């Protein structure tokens, strides 16, 4: 009887803890949603690192930020965030880079998230259309299925995604093969667009 009561109490406390965590998460999500609505209305300037958080970057790219020396930098009065972190083999890369005549390999990963507010959907559409027409050799690939419109540049490892009046720019360097960065850049864009 005592054993059944102890098990029942353990289950009860576990369920209560789960409910409390779920309640905290709901409150946090509601607060985040309200904050993101405010940024959409007032602009994302000085909030670029909130488009994709440190935790989201760590989860998306499956690394420990503290161990990999994750850091973030912003630019004042812009919706801009640069994050860098060490590659798992960064020491070997740096050693190789010091050898004379060796190919250079970046020892760090990098993601830049930037948001441009064109004040109207029509202006944002015109901007994307202009890049597609006038800079097609740079933005050579259309990226359907994310936001309202999207373009990819392998040479600059940059994904542009339009949503309404906003254009989100994701520059991503995690793979040494530039085009391989596109798939993760799309996942990063989806995270940012959920907040817009």
Mean pLDDT per 10-residue interval, the chain, length 196 residues: 44 42 46 61 79 96 96 93 96 91 91 95 97 96 96 98 96 97 98 93
**Cβ proximity of 116 and 166 under 8 Å:** yes
User: 95-132 as b/e, with b when 16 or more CB fall inside 10 Å?
Assistant: eeeeeeeeeeeebbbebbbbbbbbeeeeebbebbeebe
Q: What is the pLDDT of residue 24?
A: 41
H-only helix segments in the chain:
2-42, 54-61, 90-97, 121-134, 181-193
Q: Model-level pTM?
A: 0.78
Q: What is the C-alpha to C-alpha distance for residues 76 and 48, in angstroms, rounded to an integer?
A: 10
Q: What is the pLDDT of residue 68?
A: 95
Please name the CATH architecture into which domain 44-193 falls. Answer: 3-Layer(aba) Sandwich (3.40)
Q: What is the pLDDT of residue 66?
A: 96
Q: What is the pLDDT of residue 102?
A: 84
Q: What is the pLDDT of residue 103?
A: 86
Q: What is the pLDDT of residue 19?
A: 42
């Amino acid at each position: 009887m005592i054993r059944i009561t102890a098990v029942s109490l353990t289950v009860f406390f576990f369920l209560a803890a789960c409910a409390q965590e779920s309640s905290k998460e709901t409150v946090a999500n509601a607060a985040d949603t309200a904050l993101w609505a405010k940024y959409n209305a007032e602009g994302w300037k000085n909030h670029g690192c909130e488009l994709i958080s440190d935790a989201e970057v760590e989860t998306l790219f499956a690394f420990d930020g503290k161990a990999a020396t994750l850091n973030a930098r912003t630019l004042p009065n812009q919706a801009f965030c640069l994050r860098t972190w060490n590659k798992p083999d960064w020491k070997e890369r740096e050693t190789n880079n010091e050898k004379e005549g060796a190919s250079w390999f970046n020892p760090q990963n990098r993601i830049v998230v930037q948001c441009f507010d064109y004040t109207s959907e029509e202006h944002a559409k015109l901007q994307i259309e202009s890049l597609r027409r006038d800079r097609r050799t740079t933005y050579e690939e259309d990226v359907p299925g994310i936001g309202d419109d999207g373009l990819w540049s392998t040479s600059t490892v940059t994904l542009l995604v339009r949503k309404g009046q906003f254009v989100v720019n994701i520059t991503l360097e995690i793979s040494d093969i530039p085009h391989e960065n596109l798939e993760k850049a799309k996942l990063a864009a989806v995270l940012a667009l959920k907040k817009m």
